[in-house]
Amino acid sequence: MRVLVVEDDALLGDAVQVGLRQAGFVPDWITDGIGAEHALATSEYGAVVLDIGLPRRSGLEVLARMRADGNRLPVLILTARDTVDDRIAGLDAGADDYLVKPFAMGELAARLRALVRRAEGRSQPAVVVGAITLDPAAHTVTLDGAPVELSAKEFALLQVFMQNAGRVLSRAQLEEQLYGWDDDTGSNTIEVFIHHLRRKFGRDLIRTVRGVGYQLPRPGA
């Protein structure tokens, strides 16, 4: 899942970016509020990690504008401001969660997964479609209860399909979720990963909708 990280501290921003990537996320890192608004307007994200004390435009201003524009993207505020009044201000501005620095990287990743689950209307950590069960926290996939080994990108692509089961997704939409700004994408990379998934789960796992994109059908569809 692609995540926007907005943090002006260079060391912390880099550490968060690395930690989230290791946890299976695809992070883009921005260091100021106006840059964050531009990123949100031009790219698709599953969640935002937002500092409050940002240059050019504060995190609370960015958040307030998001909510005023009807953007319901899950937002986790990550800040050193730890008073009750600060937490109240952040949550009342529209944040979905609030984590105070210093923090454990594992907790940040777990809180992001929980926010995404709530946004998708799921209470269970695992995503289940037919005989396939995918657990983002444990980074495991099973088919009829048997484990299936996937590369990091194969796992991420399958997760996108399962979280959007029944929807037809274009190649561009899949690339938006699978790659950050610093990733190099080949002209047929998505097709290669889809081929790998079909080989491991069966050729009917993902349908090609000619001229439109790809679909992981819901069971019985």
186 pLDDT higher than 70: no
Distance between CA atoms of 38 and 46, rounded to whole angstroms? 16
* pLDDT score of 5: 97
Q: Please report how many Cα atoms fall inside a 13 Å half-sphere around the Cα of residue 111, on the Cβ side.
A: 19
- Positions of CATH 3.40.50.2300 in the chain: 2-120
Three-class HEC string of 17-69: HHHHHHCCCEEEEECCHHHHHHHHHHCCCCEEEECCCCCCCCHHHHHHHHHHC
* pLDDT score of 219: 84
Distance between CA atoms of 89 and 118, rounded to whole angstroms? 21
Q: Are 51 and 8 in contact (CB under 8 A)?
A: yes
185 pLDDT higher than 70: no
Q: Is the domain defined by 127-215 classed in CATH 3.40.5.90?
A: no
Mean pLDDT within 74-101: 92
Q: Are 115 and 204 in contact (CB under 8 A)?
A: no
Residue 168 burial class via C-beta count within 10 angstroms: exposed 0-12, middle 13-18, buried 19 and up: middle
- Positions of CATH 1.10.10.10 in the chain: 127-215
User: pLDDT band at residue 15, thresholds of 50, 70 and 90?
Assistant: very high
User: pLDDT band at residue 123, thresholds of 50, 70 and 90?
Assistant: confident
Q: Is the domain defined by 2-120 classed in CATH 3.40.50.2300?
A: yes
pTM of the model: 0.80
Q: Report the length, in residues, of the chain.
A: 221
Mean pLDDT within 42-67: 94
Top pLDDT among 187 and 121 is at 121
82 pLDDT higher than 90: no
**Mean residue pLDDT across the chain:** 92
